[in-house]
A = this chain, B = another copy of it.
Amino acid sequence: MDEIDELLSIRAAELYYEENKTQDEIGQALRLTRWKVGRLLAQAKQQGFIRIEILHPRARRLPIERRLRDERGLTDAVVVSSAGVASAEELQARTAQAAADYLTSLRPVPRTLGVSWGRTLFEISQHLRNGWASGVNVVQINGGVSLNRRPGTAAATAVGIAQKAGGSATLLPSPAILERLETKHAIEADRVVAGVIDLARSADAYLFSAGAADHTSVHVESGYLSEGDVDLLVQKGAVGDVVGRYIDSDGNIVDPALDARTVGLTLDELRAASLGVAVIAGRAKHAVADAVVRSGLCSVLVTDEATALHLLDG
């Protein structure tokens, strides 16, 4: 397109999009045929001179979702728009809302849903409407008794999701990470615990998030890991955790010994699931999100625009 046409296409776009003129009227104003105007507008669009944004908290970016599906092999993707987002919290809320919406629209409705816990999951549980489904049983897929602050958010998450769906919640009565391997084996040998884990393995769908490998981690907050532990994991290449298991950028377990002391579904079990919905948003989680998608830990990703673009650029 030469300079003249470029300018004309801008003039035409102004009249078309800002003044709501018809292509015919624009043709008269610019002394062009209406076909030429149509072509100029098409060129302006195609060259990216026209940006159309949907400004709404619930707005999604379908073209990016498509690219995630096509280029990263996901079964499905939900990308919330970042347009007009003021804070990280708002982005988190939008993403949680989108995850809740996605869950609600799932067909067939899963009879058993395996969930992890954490800030993201808790927020999703709050965004779900009462009666979002009927008769979904929820089972925790990783250990989740909080040691320190905010006791019970893990339980509250699972119970909340279940109650709002008119189902029941099955909690995994175990710490997330145990200090000694023997204790972990003993706990897993417990009839109740083993039963819950079996149930978790048989879930129709999984919903989980991922944590960044930094000091803001819920594992630090909950007291399972010290800040020093996390630093060490980062040194070994950790980019974050999924269901309490720390992975590197390829999705491999960073510290097998630590992993062996972690209670819940293994990553391979998660990978084998036919439906695994990961909800990961925010700048801090770009690296984990990449690792999760790259290593096939989820089949569906719910995320924000910036994170999605990060996955596609890499």
Q: Does A19 contact B (CB under 8 A)?
A: yes
> What 0/1 pattern do residues 62 to 95 of A give for CB contact below 8 A with B?
1100000000000000000001000000000000
Interface string of A33-60 (1 = CB under 8 A from B): 0000000000010001111111110111
* A18 touches B (CB below 8 Å): yes
Interface positions, chain A 1-16, Cβ under 8 Å from B, are: 6-7, 10, 13-15
CB-CB under 8 A from A83, the residues of chain B are 51
Residue numbers in B under 8 Å from A58 (CB-CB): 7, 10
Contact B19 A63 (CB under 8 A): yes
- Residues in B whose Cβ lies below 8 Å from that of A55: 48-51
Q: How large is the interface on A (under 10, 10 to 19, 20 to 34, 35 or more residues)?
A: 20 to 34
Instruction: Say yes or no: A18 contacts B49, CB within 8 Å.
Output: no
Interface digits, A286-306 against B, CB 8 Å rule (1 contact, 0 not)?
A: 000000000000000000000
**A7, A18, A19, A53, most chain B CB atoms within 10 A:** A18
- Cβ contact within 8 Å between A19 and B54: no
CB of B50 within 8 A of CB of A18, answer no
User: What distance in Å separates the Cβ of A68 from its nearest Cβ neighbour in chain B?
Assistant: 14
Tell me if B50 and A52 are in contact (CB < 8 A): yes
B residues near A49, Cβ cutoff 8 Å: 54-56, 59
User: Is the C-beta of A127 less than 8 angstroms from some C-beta in chain B?
Assistant: no
Give 27 A-B contacts (CB < 8 Å), ordered by A residue: A6-B56, A10-B54, A10-B56, A10-B58, A10-B59, A13-B54, A13-B59, A14-B54, A14-B59, A14-B61, A14-B62, A15-B62, A18-B54, A18-B61, A18-B62, A19-B62, A19-B63, A49-B55, A49-B56, A50-B54, A50-B55, A51-B53, A51-B54, A51-B55, A51-B83, A52-B53, A53-B53
